[in-house]
Every structure is written in structure tokens, then in C-alpha cells.
A and B are shown apart, each in its own frame.
Chain A
Amino acid sequence: MDLITPGLGLVFWSVITFLILLLVLKKFAWKPILGAVDERETGIKNALEAADKARKEMENLKADNERILNEARAEREAMLKDARDIKNKMVSDAKEEAQQQATKMITQAQEAIENEKRSAMAELKNHVASLSIEIAEKVVRQELGNKDKQLELVESMLSDAKLN
């Protein structure tokens, strides 16, 4: 029975001792220990959050960079294409113009040649005509020096005309 009857003295000392232990530990042990643990945990939490934030920012930055790079690349591509188009256009334009010019020049040249030819022909004709007349004059003068021969000529001419 003694074993299960709480002794008043021990109850008294237990209560007093535990109360003092509780108060002393609360002030000098639990407060600093729990404070330090809390402080460290919030520190770790903050650090993790900051790292997460930094990582996200980094990702954003990276995405931005990628985007800018892509844009730049596209722009370059477009510029190159434009340049190429312009070049091609210029070349073709120049070619066309040259063609036209050439055609024009050729036509002009042909016209000039035709004119020259025509005038040359006319001159030649005139020349030939006068030459022929001169020759004819000389021939006629020579031929018609003797009467027989004049008659013979008239004769042949008349026969020719008959044949016609």
C-alpha cells in the first residue's frame, strides 16, 4: 500500500523542483535553443526562397536572351533577304535597261545604216547614171562615126524590137 500512496514530502519537493527547473530552463535553455533553431530555419527558408527567386529570374533572363537572340537572328535573316532581293532586282533592272539600250542602239544603228545605204544607193545610182551617160556618149560618139555602123545598129535594134 505504501508503494501506491504518494508521500506528501516528495510531492511537495517534486512540484517545487519541477517548477524551478521549468522556469530556469525556459529562460536559459529553451528560449535560446528554440530561438536559434527558429532563426536558422527562417534563415534557411529565406535563403531557399531567394535562391528560387534568383533561379526564376535567371530563367526569365535566359528566356529573354533567347527571345532577343531569335529576334535578332530573324531580323538579320530578313535584312539579308531584302539585300538579296534588292541586288537581284538591281541586276535584273540593269540587265533590262541594258537590253533596252542595246536594242535601241541597234535599231538606231540599223536605221542609220539603212539611211546611209539608201543615200549611198541614190548617190551610186546618180553616179552610175552619169557614168553610163558619159560612156554612152563616148560609145555613141565612137560608133556613130561611120554610117554603116549606125545603120547596122538601127537594124539590130529594130530586129530586137521585132522579136519583142
Chain B
Amino acid sequence: MCTFARNLEQGIFKLFIMTLNTLRAVLFLVFSVAVTNFGFASQDNEDQDKGFNAKEMIMHHVKDAHEFHIVDWDNKPISIPLPIILFTDNGLTTFMSSEFHHDDSGTHIVEKNGERFVKYHEKIYQLESGVDTLTFDEELHPTNAKLPLDFSITKNVFMMWVSVLVILLIFISAASKYKKSNNFMPRGIASFVEPLVVFIRDEVAIPMIGEKKYRRYMPFLLSVFFFIWVNNIFGLIPILNGANVSGNIAFTVSLAFFTFIITSFSGNKNYWKHIFWMPGVPVPMKIFLMPIEIVGMFVKPISLTIRLFANITAGHIIILSLMSLIFIFESVAIAPVSVGFSLFILIIEIVVTAIQAYIFTVLSALYIGTATEEEHH
């Protein structure tokens, strides 16, 4: 009876999220179509009047960058320079991003240790020797330069570290509150943190993994939940230029990788048996199911990756698209509509920050739960 009620509750919750996602998807579709049309339109006219390009602006905000651009002031960009770390054939090369002088078109050449680098569309290329300008093929890919391994501290890495500092500050100070108080009562920030921690334990870890085994996975689930949530929230703060950490597929694939590793390493005999030799079905069916289950093993973390990335990026794109309408129509009259709609989406996004972090955590817990589930007949 209890499980039924829980299933029902989860079902309703899933339905709610699906509805929300559908709403978002529809809005996203409508506005992205509108904006890309206008964007392409303005791109066509770019040669004539160097007008506003919504697509470029949005992509610039959504993608990672090598410098922390805050604002353009008096036609000069104000930005925080970040370190660039490259592995070329000759080894490590480091310099600050300010050496590119805000150039992103591949014209400004930085020379280090006899190697020459240019930045083109937020990618750093190493020019071949004796070449001074980039040449492109018809798909606008540079032909006379190669990509060195880029381990730069980019905007996203920088913001990720800021979020880590914030998380550490919040949770370590919360943890220290318990030491000071007798009888373990939460005080101060701990009374804010504790319900969330207990929520993850009681609503995520215990139902998904089970009373016996959940303890081992609590640090991972809690860390991943708060890491995603804080980064989602940081992505919505405009002055941080919406550093889109949790909407970057590299970030989400890394976290999903952890889930995959933990799931695979904690998988028991029962789990592997269900993948490679499904019990309780005839032999042809076992053979038929094996490849499906093996694919499923990898599809799970991939779905985690794409879900978080797509949801967060879509939210950013919608807000930026709505804001772009002002500049596309070049009219102040559209501003209230734009601001109103962005505010509406922004409020939804605030909910989404928590929901997506929650979903990632729940699904991770679910995958771990299926991997550690005991055999039952």
C-alpha cells in the first residue's frame, strides 16, 4: 500500500515535470524559431549595417569562453583575463587570455616559445609555421592551423570554482554549527541546510537505494545535488554573465561519468546477470536482450548528460531570445513584453534549477539502486 502511494506520488511529480518541460519546449520552439529567423535575417544584412545578431549573442553567452567578459563600456570590453593552458607538441604553454586583446576572429597572433596561437570563435588554434593568417574551408573551419589540447581555466571553470568555494563555505560552516551546539540541534545556516540534506536522504537515497545500502552513496548524491543546483543558480545571475556551467555538455558528461562509474563498480552479481543473461526468460530472449541491456547501461548516463545540458541551456536560450527581441525590433515598445516574458521564464527557471538538480540526483540514485538491488524471487 505504502509503495503504491509512493509510486502514485512519484507519478504525479513526473507528470508535473513533464508538463513543465513540455511548456518549456513549446516556448523554446516558438521563440527560437522567431529569433533564429530574425537572427539569420539580420545576419544577412550584417555586411551592410553590422546590426544586432541574436544568434551570435546567444551562442556567445551560452558557450564557454577564455575570458570573463562582463560588459562593453564605451565600445571597449571590460573583462577578467583568465589563464590559458595548452599542451602542444612541444609541451606545456601558458599565458593570460588578455594577450589576445579580446580578439576572437583569429587575427591577433600570440607568440610563446616559438609557437604562435590565434583565438577564433573561442577556440585556440596553433598556426602552422610560416603562416600569418588563418585560411578557411567552405564550412569555415581553419585549414592551416591545428588545435592543441586546451586545459585553460575558462569562464566555466572559473565559475565552477567560485561555486565550489560557495558550496564549501555553506556546508563546512553548517557542519561546524553542530560541533558547537550540544544535543546536535541545527542552528544558523545548519537549520537551512539540514532539511535539504534530510530531503535527499529520505526522499531520494532511501527510497531508491534502500535502507541498508544508502549510506555509502549519500556523499555522492548530496555533492552532486548541491553542485548542480548551485551552478544552475549561478547560471541565472545576469551579472555573472550567465556562466552556463551546468548547461555545458562537458560538465554534465563529467557528472554522469561519475554516476556511471559508481553504478558499474557497485553493481552486484544480480545486476550483471540482468544485463548479460536475463533470468526468467527463454534463451533466445536472453540473447536478444543482452545487446539492449548493454546499450541501456550506457544510455542511462548519456540521458543524464543530455537532460541536464538541454534543460539548462534551453532556459538560457529562451531568456536571451526574449531579451534579443528588443534589439531585433529595435523598439522600446517591445521591452515590457520582453522583460515580462523573461521574468516569467526566469521564475520558471528558478524552479527548474532545483528540479533538474533533483532529477539528476534521483536518477543517479535509481541507477545505483538497480545496481545494488538484491535478487528477489
A interface residues (Cβ-Cβ under 8 A, vs B):
2-15, 17-18, 20-22, 24-26, 28-37, 39-40, 43
Contacts and interface: CB of A to CB of B under 8 A. Distances in A.
Nearest to A23: B219
Nearest to B85: A9
Contacts of B201: 34, 37
Contacts of A37: 184, 194, 197-198, 201
B175 A33 contact: yes
B146 interface: no
Nearest to A1: B139
Interface in B170-219: 171-172, 174-176, 178-179, 183-186, 190, 193-194, 197-198, 201, 218-219
A11 B160 CA distance: 12
A3 B254 contact: no
Interface in B279-332: 309, 313
Given A10-B251, A12-B151, A3 B223 contact: no
Nearest to B310: A4
Interface string B46-75: 000000000000010011100000000000
B217 to A, nearest CB: 11
A128 B313 CA distance: 162
B298 to A, nearest CB: 15
Given A28-B172, A30-B219, A43-B183, A4 B150 contact: no
Say whether chain B's binding surface is mostly helix, strand, loop, or mixed. Answer: helix
Contacts of A12: 151
Given A3-B249, A5-B249, A7-B64, A28 B175 contact: yes
Given A3-B313, A37-B184, A10 B174 contact: no
Contacts of B18: none
Contacts of A35: 178
Interface residues of B, number: 54
Interface in B246-274: 248-251, 253-255, 257-258
B179 A32 contact: yes
B33 interface: no
A33 B250 CA distance: 31
A21 B172 contact: no
Interface stretch (B93-101, B104-112, B161-169, B340-348): B161-169
Given A17-B161, A32-B178, A36-B178, A25 B222 contact: yes
A10 B152 CA distance: 8
Contacts of B236: none
A9 B154 contact: yes
A15 B63 contact: no
Given A6-B249, A22-B223, A43 B184 contact: yes
B156 interface: yes
Nearest to B156: A10
19 contacts: A6-B250, A7-B150, A8-B149, A9-B154, A13-B151, A14-B254, A18-B223, A18-B255, A22-B219, A29-B172, A30-B219, A30-B223, A31-B175, A33-B171, A33-B190, A33-B193, A33-B197, A39-B184, A43-B184
